[in-house]
Amino acid sequence: MNWYSDLYLGKSAREKKEKLIQKIESGKTPVNTYLLTLATGAHNQLEIIPAWNLKFEHNRGKLPLIVGIGYGRAEAFELVRRITEEVYRETNRVDLREYFEQRS
C-alpha cells in the first residue's frame, strides 16, 4: 500500500492510527474506517473509500496514494474539508491531486 508520508487523520482515527494501519496492511478491514485516496479518475481529486472495500483482492492492488484515514463517514468528510482548506492556504489553488503528487 502506498501511504502519504504526512498522513491526514481524523480525531478518532488519530487515536487508533497504528492499529488501523496494521489491520489494513494485513488485509483485515476495520469497521467504520474510511480511506482518503487520490482519485482514480483524471477529473476528480480525492475519493473516500470504505476500508471494507479492500477485502476484495482486486481492489487492494489498484489503490492509489492513501492521504488520510477517517473513523466514520463524518470524520472522512471533515478531513476532505480540512485538506482542501490547507492546500488552498498554501497554494491559493485547490488542485489536491497536484499538491499530493508533488509531495509524494
Q: Does the structure show a pLDDT above 60 at 29?
A: yes
Average pLDDT, whole number, for the chain?
A: 90
Measured between alpha carbons, how far is 58 from 100 in angstroms, rounded to an integer? 24
73-98 pLDDT tens trace: 999 999 999 999 999 999 999 999 99
Strands (E), 10-98: 33-38, 46-50, 66-71
Residue ranges covered by each domain of the chain: 3-103
State the helix-helix crossing angle for 96-103 and 73-91, rounded to 10 degrees. Answer: 80
pTM (global) more than 0.85: yes
pLDDT band of residue 64 (cuts 50, 70, 90) is confident
Percent of the chain with pLDDT over 90: 69
